[in-house]
Structure 1
Amino acid sequence: MRRRPVEPEAQVTVGEAQVGRGNPPEVLDGPFSTRQLLRIDEALRLADHGTGLVFSVFVGGLDEPIREHAERLHRQLAEPDRSVLIAVSPNQRRLEVVTGRHARKRIPDTYARLAALSMVAAFGLGDLAGGIINGLDQLASHAGRG
């Protein structure tokens, strides 16, 4: 598991709707409430600021092969080498964590797997937003200050 998606700033992408920092959520139909989106946005901001890496989250359908789709999303980011992507497809019951070359030095696969296990446990309890937030926190904690 490794890497991140979409624009220079960390964003939450739900289906095709995006929520970037400082913008009000514009998701008409998605798995998160406005409050949950704001909490995820804050967790992204804290992870970015605390580590110097760039974190992103994608929630939506992933094409087969899932890992390759997540890696394609990660490569589309402004700074893929310094980026971490959490790609979640709740309907497919899949999670991928993609790290860039520089980010992987600070978040080895073992730590990414531990964060993923924690997220999966929360997802299993029906807490999608909480799992993402906790996963971001764990990944940022492992990365430390950059």
Structure 2
Amino acid sequence: MATGELAHSDESAPAEQPAESAERASSVERRTHSSHGELDGNFEDADEELPPGSVRTASGRISAALDTNREPGVRLPFSSVQLSRLDEALTLVSRHTQLRFSVYLGELGENTHTGAERLHDHLGAAAADSVLIALDVARRQVDIVTGSVARLRLPDRGCKLAVMSMVASFREGDLIGGLLSGLRMLSDQAGRP
């Protein structure tokens, strides 16, 4: 488990949750898909209009960010390209390490680490081999929570290094770059099973 503080930036959430305003960040969840990597076989609808925050990945899956507290006119946290890049990174890192990686952007509560742990606990039986990167952009905090199995391969020191790398990118206003860099570092640290 690691915690870091995000530096304030005009674009502190342009990639994941564009800190539309650093004071007010909407809750955004990444929907999980039960069939990662499977083709749905129906590409006839490829030209269909997807809802905002959704993208059809190269494999044919639809990846979506669900904004649970968005006001009209507030832009979404990721462009379709950024959302696709994050989805692919999560898929590749999870396949490589055989751990379940996820990213959460949104309100974590007064104590961000406790809020991140609460989210991680909602994974139920899957929590043991899961890694959650949770960002509360409004409070400028990032937490990495690992399950009991994942913790054996991702010690606190490795998570802290990933947090430091992410925070450096976040300070520059590059939220998606920071997340991708952090995922890469965590994958390298965990290695193959």
- Note the aligned Cα RMSD (angstroms): 2.0
CA deviations on 1:4-34 (whole Å, 9 max, x unpaired) are xxxxxxxx99724534452243557422111
Q: How many residues were matched structurally?
A: 137
Provide the rounded CA distance (Å) in 2 between the counterparts of 1:103 and 1:38.
25
2-structure distance, mates of 1:131, 1:77: 24
Deviations 1:87-122 (A, max 9, x none): 011121000000000101000000000000000000
Partner of 1:61: 107
| CA distance 1:62–1:26, change in 2 (3 Å) | closer
Contact 2:30 2:104 in 1 (8 A): no
**Which structure 1 residue ranges, 4+ long, deviate > 3 Å from structure 2?**
16-21, 26-29
Match of residue 138 from structure 1: 185
TM-score for the superposition, normalised by structure 2: 0.66
| Within-5 A mapping of 1:28-107 | 29-78=75-124, 79-107=126-154
Structure 2 match to 1:7: none
- The one-letter amino acid of 1:70's match is A
- More helix by percentage: 1
Q: Is the 8 A contact 2:63 2:83 kept in 1?
A: no
Instruction: Please state whether the residue corresponding to 1:70 is helix, strand or coil.
Output: helix
Query: Which one of the candidate residues 14, 22, 27 is aligned to 1:15?
Result: 27
Larger radius of gyration: 2
Tell me the distance in 1 between the aligned counterparts of 2:107 and 2:91. 24
TM-score, normalising length from structure 1?
A: 0.85
SS at match of 2:142: strand
Question: Does the 8 Å CA contact 2:28/2:65 hold for their aligned counterparts?
Answer: no
The percentage of counterpart residues that share the same residue type is 42
Structure 2: stretches of 5+ with no match in the other structure: 3-15, 18-25, 34-60, 68-74
Assess, with a 3 A threshold, how the Cα gap between structure 1 residues 107 and 56 changes in structure 2: closer, same or farther.
same
Where structure 1 has 5 or more consecutive residues not aligned to the other structure, the ranges are 3-11
